[in-house]
Chain A
Amino acid sequence: MFALQGVSKSFGPVQVLKPTTVEFRTGESTVLIGPSGCGKSTLLRLLVGLVDADGGTIQFEGTPITKANIMQMRQRMGYVIQDGGLFPHLTARENVSLLASHLGWEKQRMDQRVEELADLTRLPRLALDRYPTQMSGGQRQRVGIMRALMLDPSVLLLDEPMGALDPLVRFDLQEDLRKIFRTLAKTAIMVTHDMGEAAFFGDRVMMFGEGEIVQEGRLEDLIQHPSNEYVSRFINAQRLPGVQS
C-alpha cells in the first residue's frame, strides 16, 4: 500500500522524522504510537501530502507520490482527524458528499451511499441534516469517518480520531470503529498515544520515539519483549484496559 524509502522531515533545526524506511501492507491495520512530538503525526501527514518530505520517496500502490499526482491519490485515501475537521457551513450529509458531488455523482447514488455509511457508523439518520455545531462530538467524529469512507478509499488514515471525545463516547466509537475495520477489511493507519486504543485496533504497532521507529510488532511482543528501556517505560506508564494477552 505505502512504501517509504529513507523519508525524513525537519521543521527548522528540529528533525521530527529521521530517515525512515518502512512498509504498510494492504489489509493490515497499523497503529503509530508514542508521546507527543515523536514524529508519528508527521509520518501520517507525509502520507497524505500535507507536508513534503525533505528526502526519500513515498510510494502509494506502487506509484511514487509527486506534487502532480497527489490530488488524484488523495481521492483514494480516507483521512480522519480529531473532532472530524468538518466544514461548519455544510450539513453532515453535505460534508460527506462534498467531493462526490464535485466529481459529478448523481443525487440518488450519493444519498444511497450516505445512508449506507450512516448505518455503518451508526449515525442517526436525523443527524444527517444537522450542521456540525448542532451535533455532539461523537456524531461529528462519525461524520468525519463517513466523509473519509465516501469514495470507498483503499486506505484509511486516522490522526488521533478519538482525541477530543469523553470516555463513554470514546468507548462506543472505538467499538464501532473496530467493527467498521473488520467489515470493510481496509488497510488502516492510525495515530494515537493511547495504549488501549493501540491494543484495540492494531494488528501491528509501531512505537515512535524522538523521530524514529523504536520498535514494531504485535502489541503483545512489545509488552513482553520491550526492545529497550524507553518502550517499557512508555508501556508501563499507561494502564491497559481491555488487553487480552
Chain B
Amino acid sequence: MKKLLHLVFSLFLLSVCVLRPAFAEPPKISVGSKAFTESVVLGELICHLAREQGAKVEHRAELGGTQFLWQAMAAGKIDVYVDYTGTIREELLAEVIKSGVEIRSEADMREALAKMHVRMSDRLGFNNTYALGMRDATAEKLGIKTINDLRNHPDLKFAFSDEFMERKDGWRPLAEKYKLPQKKVRTMDHNLAYRGLEHDAIQLTDLYTTDAEIEFYKLRTLEDDQGYFPTYYAVMLMRDDLQEHAPEIVKSILRLENLIEPHEMVSMTAKVRLDREMESNVAAGFLNDKLQLDIPLKSTSKSAEWMRILGRLAKTTYEHLFLVLISLSLAIVVAVPLGIVSARNENIGNTVLGVVGVIQTLPSMALLVFMIPLFGLGALPAIAALFFYSLLPIVRNTYTGLTQIPIAIRESALVIGLDRAARLRLVELPLALPSILGGIKTSAVINVGTATIGALIGAGGYGSPILTGIRLSSISLILQGAIPAAVLAIVVQFGFGWIERRFVSPGLRTS
C-alpha cells in the first residue's frame, strides 16, 4: 500500500514537472533597436515594461539600420522596435507610396502598415527630426542662422551620416531645394562627425534634434526656413501577432505612448553618452519616476563594473569563436573540394575561381543584408556571410598548391600504378598541404577581423563592444573589442604555425 502511494505521488510529481512549463511558460519577446543611443534607450524602456509583466525579454540592440530591423521584423526575429514617422514614410512605405497610395496623416500610415501586418503605436511624445548643425562659435563668426545662409559659404566642409546621404529626405534633395553650392561633402559616422566638428576638420553635419551632443559640443541647429525636414515622431512598430500572443505585454509597453517629453529624451541620452550611465539604468530610472515603478538598478560599483567587463569578454569571445570556427570549418569542407575540382578541370576551375572571386569583392555590409531575408538575424546570417568570404583564399590556394606540383612528381605517382583517388590522397594533397594551410590561415585571419561586423546584425562577438564604444565615444569599450580581436588574430597565426609543424612533412620544409 505504502509502495503504491509512493508510486502515485511520484507520478504526480513527474506530471507536475512535465506539465508545468505548458501552464507557466512566460511569454517571450524580442525587442530591436538601431545603432544609436536614443534607440537603444527606447529599446531598454520597452524591455523593462515587458519584463514587468513577467516576459522573457531579449534586446537585439544596435542593429545596423532601418532595413536590418524591418527585415528582421518581417522574419519574426524581433517583435517590436521604435522607429520614426518620417523614416516610416520615406523608407518603409516608399514602395506603397510609389504604387499610388496617398499617405497624408499618421492614420494613413497606420493603415498602410496594418496591411503589412505591423501595428504602429501612438507617438511616444517627442519629435526627433534631422537638422543641420554647426559649432555655435563658427556659425556666429560667419553669421549663419538658417540653412539658407549656407549658400554664401561654398568652402565649408560637410560630413553626413551614411543614412542621411542616401535618404530620400536626406542631403541631395536638401541641397537641391536650398541650392547649396558646397562640394566638400563626405560620409562619416555620426559619432565621429561630432569629433570632426570639435577639431574643425568639418564645419557642418546632420544632427538629430534630440542629440545630447548639441548641448555638450555647443552646437547651433540651423533653422529649416523652407520647411524641408519632415517630422520624425517616435512610434513603436510591432508585429500584429504580438497582441494575440501576449496581450498584457502589449498593454504594458503601450504605456510609453505620449509619455516622453523632448527634454526628457535629450536628458536620458545625455546621461548615457555624457555621464556614461548604463542605458538600462537610465531607462529604469525614468520609468520609476514617471510610472512609479520599482525596477531595480544594476550595480555601478567598481567591482561590479569589472565583473561586467570580464563577463562581456567571456561572452564576446565565445560568440566570436563560434562565428569564426563554424564559418571557417564549413568553408574548408566546401572550398578544398572546389579547389581540387578546379585543379582537375580547367573550365570548371575558371568558373569556380571567378565566382568566389566576385563574392570576395562584394562589400561585407551588402553581403550581410542579403543574408538577412535568408537567415534572419543573429549568428546564422553572419556565419553565412563569413563562410562566403572565407572561400576564395582556400579555393585559390588549394588550386595553386595542386597545379604547382612538378610534372615529374605527378607522372611518378601515375607510373608506379596508383589510381586517381590514391594519387590525390597519398601524393597530391600532402604536397599541396602547405599551400592549402596557408589559404586557410589567410581565411581565418580575415575571418577574425570581418566577424566584428557581425555585431551589426546581432551576432555578437568582439564587434559589439566596438560598436557600442563608437556610439558612446568610449575608447575603453572600443578597446574591449579591438584588443581581443587582435590577440585572437595573433593566436590564429601561431596556431597555424603549430599545425604546419605538426602536419606538413619535414621533407617539404625549405630550411
Is the beta-carbon distance between A102 and B507 smaller than 8 angstroms? no
Min distance, Cβ B396 to any Cβ of chain A, angstroms = 21
Chain A residue, CB-CB nearest to B506: A131
- Chain A residues with Cβ under 8 A from B415's Cβ? 48-50, 74, 77, 79
Q: How far is the CA of A87 from the CA of B507 in the complex (A)?
A: 9
Chain A residue, CB-CB nearest to B504: A89
Q: Which of B408, B416, B506 has a CB less than 8 Å from the CB of A74?
A: B416
Chain A residue, CB-CB nearest to B419: A71
Tell me the residues in window 211-235 of chain A with beta carbons closer than 8 Å to chain B beta carbons. Answer: none
Q: Is B326 an interface residue (CB 8 A)?
A: no
- Chain A residues with Cβ under 8 A from B433's Cβ? 89
Q: Which of B409, B416, B431, B508 has a CB less than 8 Å from the CB of A147?
A: B416
Chain A residue, CB-CB nearest to B431: A89
Q: Which of B414, B416, B419, B505 has a CB less than 8 Å from the CB of A131?
A: B505
Flag A109-134 by CB within 8 Å of B: 1 or 0 each.
Answer: 00000000000000000000001111
Q: Is A88 an interface residue (CB 8 A)?
A: yes
Q: Is A29 an interface residue (CB 8 A)?
A: no
Q: Which of A87, A98, A99, A148 has a CB less than 8 Å from the CB of B409?
A: A87
Is the beta-carbon distance between B412 and A89 smaller than 8 angstroms? no
Q: Is B422 an interface residue (CB 8 A)?
A: yes
Q: Is A81 an interface residue (CB 8 A)?
A: yes
- Chain A residues with Cβ under 8 A from B412's Cβ? 79, 81, 85-87
Q: Which of A71, A72, A89, A99 has a CB less than 8 Å from the CB of B508?
A: A89
Q: Contacts A50-B411, A98-B426, A131-B505; is A87 near B431 (CB within 8 Å)?
A: yes
Is the beta-carbon distance between A88 and B409 smaller than 8 angstroms? yes
Min distance, Cβ A217 to any Cβ of chain B, angstroms = 29
Q: Is A90 an interface residue (CB 8 A)?
A: yes
Min distance, Cβ A12 to any Cβ of chain B, angstroms = 18
- Chain A residues with Cβ under 8 A from B430's Cβ? 89
Q: Is A20 an interface residue (CB 8 A)?
A: no
- Chain B: interface size category: 20 to 34
- Chain A: interface size category: 20 to 34
Q: Is B424 an interface residue (CB 8 A)?
A: no
Min distance, Cβ B280 to any Cβ of chain A, angstroms = 58
Tell me the residues in window 322-348 of chain B with beta carbons closer than 8 Å to chain A beta carbons. Answer: none
Is the beta-carbon distance between B411 and A102 smaller than 8 angstroms? no
- Chain A residues with Cβ under 8 A from B431's Cβ? 87-89
Q: Is A141 an interface residue (CB 8 A)?
A: no
- Chain B residues with Cβ under 8 A from A90's Cβ? 505, 507
- Chain B residues with Cβ under 8 A from A49's Cβ? 415
Is the beta-carbon distance between A89 and B505 smaller than 8 angstroms? yes
- Chain A residues with Cβ under 8 A from B409's Cβ? 85, 87-88
Q: How far is the CA of A87 from the CA of B422 in the complex (A)?
A: 14
Chain B residue, CB-CB nearest to A75: B417
Q: How far is the CA of A127 from the CA of B286 in the complex (A)?
A: 81
The winner among B416, B504, B506 for most chain A CB atoms within 10 A is: B416
Is the beta-carbon distance between A102 and B418 smaller than 8 angstroms? yes
Question: What secondary structure prevails in chain B residues at the interface with A?
Answer: helix
Is the beta-carbon distance between A131 and B417 smaller than 8 angstroms? no
Is the beta-carbon distance between B408 and A81 smaller than 8 angstroms? yes
Q: Is A8 an interface residue (CB 8 A)?
A: no
Chain B residue, CB-CB nearest to A101: B426
Min distance, Cβ A89 to any Cβ of chain B, angstroms = 4
Is the beta-carbon distance between B508 and A79 smaller than 8 angstroms? no
Is the beta-carbon distance between A99 and B417 smaller than 8 angstroms? yes
Chain B residue, CB-CB nearest to A77: B415
Q: How far is the CA of A147 from the CA of B422 in the complex (A)?
A: 17
Q: How far is the CA of A91 from the CA of B411 in the complex (A)?
A: 18
Q: Is B427 an interface residue (CB 8 A)?
A: yes
Flag B48-63 by CB within 8 Å of A: 1 or 0 each.
Answer: 0000000000000000
Q: Which of B414, B419, B507 has a CB less than 8 Å from the CB of A89?
A: B507
- Chain A residues with Cβ under 8 A from B427's Cβ? 87, 89, 98
Tell me the residues in window 67-85 of chain A with beta carbons closer than 8 Å to chain B beta carbons. Answer: 71-72, 74-75, 77, 79, 81-83, 85
Min distance, Cβ A50 to any Cβ of chain B, angstroms = 6
Q: How far is the CA of A102 from the CA of B425 in the complex (A)?
A: 11
Chain B residue, CB-CB nearest to A89: B505
Q: Which of B419, B422, B426, B507 has a CB less than 8 Å from the CB of A132?
A: B507
Chain B residue, CB-CB nearest to A91: B507
- Chain B residues with Cβ under 8 A from A99's Cβ? 416-418
Is the beta-carbon distance between A87 and B413 smaller than 8 angstroms? yes
Tell me the residues in window 132-162 of chain A with beta carbons closer than 8 Å to chain B beta carbons. Answer: 132-134, 147-148
Q: How far is the CA of A211 from the CA of B53 in the complex (A)?
A: 94
- Chain A residues with Cβ under 8 A from B417's Cβ? 71-72, 74-75, 99
- Chain B residues with Cβ under 8 A from A87's Cβ? 409, 412-413, 427, 431
Min distance, Cβ B243 to any Cβ of chain A, angstroms = 67
Q: How far is the CA of A72 from the CA of B418 in the complex (A)?
A: 9
Q: How far is the CA of A79 from the CA of B408 in the complex (A)?
A: 12
Min distance, Cβ A189 to any Cβ of chain B, angstroms = 14
Q: How far is the CA of A174 from the CA of B315 in the complex (A)?
A: 70
- Chain B residues with Cβ under 8 A from A71's Cβ? 417, 419
- Chain A residues with Cβ under 8 A from B506's Cβ? 131
Min distance, Cβ B413 to any Cβ of chain A, angstroms = 7
Is the beta-carbon distance between B507 and A133 smaller than 8 angstroms? yes
Q: How far is the CA of A133 from the CA of B506 in the complex (A)?
A: 10
Q: How far is the CA of A62 from the CA of B186 in the complex (A)?
A: 81
- Chain A residues with Cβ under 8 A from B422's Cβ? 102
Q: How far is the CA of A81 from the CA of B413 in the complex (A)?
A: 12
Min distance, Cβ B430 to any Cβ of chain A, angstroms = 5
- Chain A residues with Cβ under 8 A from B413's Cβ? 87
Min distance, Cβ B289 to any Cβ of chain A, angstroms = 73
- Chain B residues with Cβ under 8 A from A81's Cβ? 408, 411-412
Is the beta-carbon distance between B507 and A85 smaller than 8 angstroms? no
13 contacts between A and B (CB under 8 A): A48-B415, A74-B414, A79-B412, A81-B408, A87-B412, A88-B505, A89-B430, A89-B433, A89-B507, A90-B507, A99-B416, A99-B418, A148-B416
A residues with a Cβ closer than 8 A to B are 48-50, 71-72, 74-75, 77, 79, 81-83, 85-91, 98-99, 102, 131-134, 147-148
Closest 10 CB pairs of A and B: A131-B507, A89-B505, A85-B412, A75-B417, A74-B417, A79-B415, A89-B430, A85-B408, A99-B416, A48-B415
Beyond contacts A74-B415, A87-B413, A98-B427: 19 other A-B pairs, Cβ-Cβ < 8 A, are A49-B415, A72-B417, A74-B417, A77-B415, A79-B416, A81-B411, A81-B412, A83-B408, A86-B412, A87-B431, A88-B431, A88-B507, A89-B507, A89-B508, A98-B426, A99-B418, A102-B422, A147-B416, A148-B416
